[in-house]
Amino acid sequence: NFMPSWSLSNEMIYYGAWPLLLSMVGWRASRALTLGGASALIVCLLIGYIWSVLHRLETSTAVNGLWSVSVLFPLWLSGVWLVENWARISPHVTRRLWHLSFLLCLGAELLLTWMKYHQRSQAMIDFTGLAALPGLILLLAGARHARLGSRAWLQPWIRWFGQFSYPCYILQMPLLVLQLRLVIPYLPEAATSHPLARAAWLLLPTFLLLALIGPWLERRIMAWRSRFLSSFIPKQS
């Protein structure tokens, strides 16, 4: 069986929270970022006080979910911040800083591995996600140092993977679950008895299906999104 795809639930909450924050501050992205970050910090401090000082609600599913959403919100907001400040930040990320970002990301992964190995609480594991923030920002902001844009033959592949990545993220879990329920039980036992064979029956069809429909869906959804948003922009006479 597969664990619940909690990260998708969090992300849907962030997509709903962001326009709400914007509407509260006059559609100013910088103010919405400040309000969102401050709100997440206050919620985390409050939950930390309840858990650590009052020793209450440690097993509450609702409070644990609220903690997860709040403590990881800065990671999502950092992407918005990077988009809003790209022209100002990106030129200052030198090649040395970009190389440092790989070490910072590796350090965050090692910290996460250590936390899981020592069976720390899920709250602490969620909190370590913030350790990845500096490395991720530097890695993305300095991506020009990879010089992928200067290789013409790579452009179609970069565009395809860009269109493939998000549908893969969104659809891989539902497709895996559907195959687990509707395909695997009807295959011969010899074909699924070995763990590697079972994994192949799950992963290969999922990847092929996503490769066929993912970019196609992404292009059409983004085209619809563009038309939908443009309907709110007043036409110039």
Residue 233's pLDDT is 60
pLDDT given at position 151: 80
- Count of Cβ atoms closer than 10 Å to residue 210 Cβ: 19
Looking at residue 1, its pLDDT comes to 45
Phi, psi torsion values for 120, nearest 5 degrees: -70, 165
Residue 205's contacts (CB-CB under 8 Å, 6 or more residues apart) are 179, 183
pLDDT number for residue 127: 81
pLDDT in tens, the chain (237 residues): 445 566 778 888 998 899 889 889 988 889 999 999 999 999 999 998 999 888 898 888 889 889 989 999 999 999 999 999 999 999 999 999 999 999 999 999 999 899 988 888 877 888 888 889 999 999 999 999 988 877 888 889 989 998 999 888 888 888 888 888 888 888 888 888 888 988 898 899 999 999 999 999 999 998 987 887 677 665 655
Torsion, CA 21, CA 24, CA 26, CA 32, rounded to 10 = -30
Strand runs (DSSP E) across the chain, as ranges? none
Token pair of 213, please? 């429909």
Cβ proximity of 93 and 138 under 8 Å? yes
In 3-state terms, what secondary structure has residue 160?
Answer: helix
**Tokens (6 digits) for 152:** 């013409």
